[in-house]
Amino acid sequence: MTINDSQLRNLIKNAREESTQRNFSQSVELTLVLKDIDVKKGFNLNEVVILPNKPNRQASICVVASGDMGTRARKAEVDRVIEPEELDRIGTNRREGRKVVKSHDFFISDTALMPTIGRSLGQFLGPKGKMPTPLPYGAPIETIAARFRNSVRVRSKNQLNLSVKIGDEKMDDMQLTANAVAIISAIEKKLPQGEKNIRNAIIKFTMGKPAKLMTSKKEDKAKKV
């Protein structure tokens, strides 16, 4: 299914009209329904997409490092820096381990610490598709952290749908549309048949009703045959 900018903009407009105003900023979520993919063959997606328009709620970043990299990570104002000596303690406390993984969207680590992370936090990070991005000594962690802050993770495991936040209600329709386009373009490149594997798109504000893209008569007819 080909989804153009105009269709997405109208979809976002309709979803906004169907949302109920609240005393908090509602998130806006894009759901893609896929088709013609055999999930039994182990279909998995785990993509990081940089959004062209920054959401008000930026991604949370955790860095596992010490020394110079840890110092530069703190100066870059990442949300948390975990020192190597903390890893075993967190890894043996399942409640704390799960909390750490849930609290952060992206993890970055000194390359030298990846084996240690695998042994301690791998049991929590792996199932969530959040294993750290390894960085060698001297890597520009400030630039990398800034990139992750404006990114989203798009993940789907053995299922024909995926959902991801494209922003919030304080962003205008054009900004939300551009973010949705960036995500769809990235996902199409990872699908076996590209846009042909997309059945439908749905936009929903937190407290609103979902707005679903109407399929064409040609597509409906094809489904009935």
Q: Measured in whole angstroms, how far is the alpha carbon of residue 126 from the centre of its chain? A: 15
Is the pLDDT at 222 greater than 60? The verdict is no
pLDDT at 115: 95
| Mean pLDDT across the chain | 91
Contacts 24+ apart (CB under 8 A), 208-211: 208/15, 208/16, 208/18, 208/19, 208/20, 208/26, 209/15, 209/18, 209/19, 210/15, 210/31, 211/11, 211/12, 211/14, 211/15, 211/18
Distance CA 89, CA 21 (A): 44
What's this model's pTM, rounded to 2 decimal places? 0.87
Distance CA 29, CA 47 (A): 16
Is the pLDDT at 209 greater than 90? The verdict is yes
DSSP β-ladder status, 27-34 and 198-205: antiparallel
pLDDT tens-digit readout, 19-74: 887 788 899 999 999 999 988 888 889 999 999 999 888 999 999 999 999 999 99
CA distances 59 to 10, 75, 89, 109, 220, Å, are 27, 17, 25, 16, 39
pLDDT at 216: 52
Domains and CATH numbers, the chain: 5-56+152-224 (3.30.190.20), 61-148 (3.40.50.790)
pLDDT tens-digit readout, 123-149: 999 999 999 999 998 899 999 999 999
